[in-house]
Amino acid sequence: MMLCLGSVGLVLLALTVQNGHGAPDSAGWNGKDTTERNYYTRYHNMTEISDWMEKMKRENPDVVSSMVYGQTYEERNITLLKIGLRSTKRKKAIWMDCGIHAREWIAPAFCQYFVKEILQGYKTDTKVKEMMKNLDFYVTPVLNVDGYIYSWLNDSTRLWRKSRSPGPVGCTCYGTDLNRNFYANWGTVGVSTNCCEETYCGTKALSESEARAVTDMLGKMSGDILAFLTIHSYSQLILVPYGHPNISAPNYNELMEVGLGAAKAIKAVHGMDYTVGTSPDIIYPNSGSSCDYARLIGIPLSFTFELRDQGEYGFKLPEDQIQPACEEAYAGVQHIITYAHDKAFYSSAATVTTTLWTTVMTAWVFSATFL
């Protein structure tokens, strides 16, 4: 009996010691193990996210593939995961990018969570499976790779926002705001031309290779993309185009209705309030954003998500909020994706059915009258 208690005590002691700072926890967690149940409740550095992308492909070879679609200023790859079930029919696409702003760490964490959820979901949820048959999801977990790596360097670089390209001749500062660098009313409102500022828009539209990479990719796919979702933090907002106060999207009413539906779905999860609107209406005017560019080239449903919180912790959202923040954002995103999917795959089918039915009825009335 004494010996038995002693063993339990030793085991407990060993677990306590292992839980010390920097050591694996009782489940052997070391921050890198994607099988660990806590993986999606932690922030991950770029090396870990790259390893995780490889693992997603390895574990789901029929559903997940990756594509390098550009290079950063510092010549790193910009990679997306393409997720979908094989189909003989032409598929539509959903675009999601995270981490265009380096310091918004909850965004890459959400992309990882989203991928995990849809990869589990298509096995258990008939709606997710249907969407995985009809749609391919193009998910870029970290768009601003150089900036993200820089934000992980030390405490003084943690709040870096921009790319890492050097400023023009005569300016010693680094970085362009990638969300001011797209060809969408570039340089007109809500930007700075001072390369030391956070909203520096670059020397010209698409001066940044990261913005060019997204533009080229969207150009190749735009006809197939039903929804463009770009994930940021913070403020708890769902922003619809446009950032310029003088122009409005042709389907503004639809965007608002779908956005409000997403905010309602979000609130149902943990009671969090998300505000929906254009950025001039609810935050500030801006130009050159990827979201505006996506809508300008004809992608009908284009949204910017600003995830938790409302300023208490801001960009340094504590890790214990990652899971609830992702759960609620997933509900919002799912609302938009479901709407986009059903509109494309049911209303057109419904139109065909209606047309057929009308033809049949017309023929019947015609024959009843004249024969």
Q: Residue 301 Cβ, how far from ligand 0X9 at the closest point, in Å? A: 13
Distance CA 241, CA 155 (A): 34
- Within 8 A by CB and 6+ apart from 92, the residues are 134, 135, 136, 224, 225, 226, 340, 341, 344, 345
Residue 289's binding partner out of ligand 0X9, Zn ion, none, with CB under 5 to 8 Å set by partner kind: ligand 0X9
Question: Dihedral sign, CA of 156, 161, 164, 170?
Answer: negative
Q: Residue 178 Cβ, how far from Zn ion at the closest point, in Å? A: 9
Q: Residue 238 Cβ, how far from ligand 0X9 at the closest point, in Å? A: 10
Q: Residue 364 Cβ, how far from ligand 0X9 at the closest point, in Å? A: 51
Angle formed by the axes of helices 252-270 and 322-342, nearest 10°? 140
Residue 279's binding partner out of ligand 0X9, Zn ion, none, with CB under 5 to 8 Å set by partner kind: ligand 0X9
Binding site for Zn ion (CB under 5 A): 101, 232
- What phi and psi, each to the nearest 5 degrees, are found at residue 144? -90, 75
Check if 306 is active-site.
yes
Q: Between residues 132 and 255, which has the closer beta carbon with respect to ligand 0X9?
A: 255
Q: Between residues 112 and 144, which has the closer beta carbon with respect to Zn ion?
A: 144
Binding site for ligand 0X9 (CB under 6 A): 101, 104, 179, 232, 239, 241-243, 279, 286, 289, 291-292, 304, 306
Of the residues 198, 306, 312, 328, which is catalytic?
306
Q: Between residues 97 and 104, which has the closer beta carbon with respect to ligand 0X9?
A: 104
First CA to last CA across the chain, in angstroms?
A: 100
Where helices occur in the chain by DSSP H, the ranges are 2-18, 46-59, 106-124, 126-134, 145-151, 209-221, 252-270, 279-282, 290-296, 322-342, 348-370
Residue 286's binding partner out of ligand 0X9, Zn ion, none, with CB under 5 to 8 Å set by partner kind: ligand 0X9
Just list the catalytic residues: 306
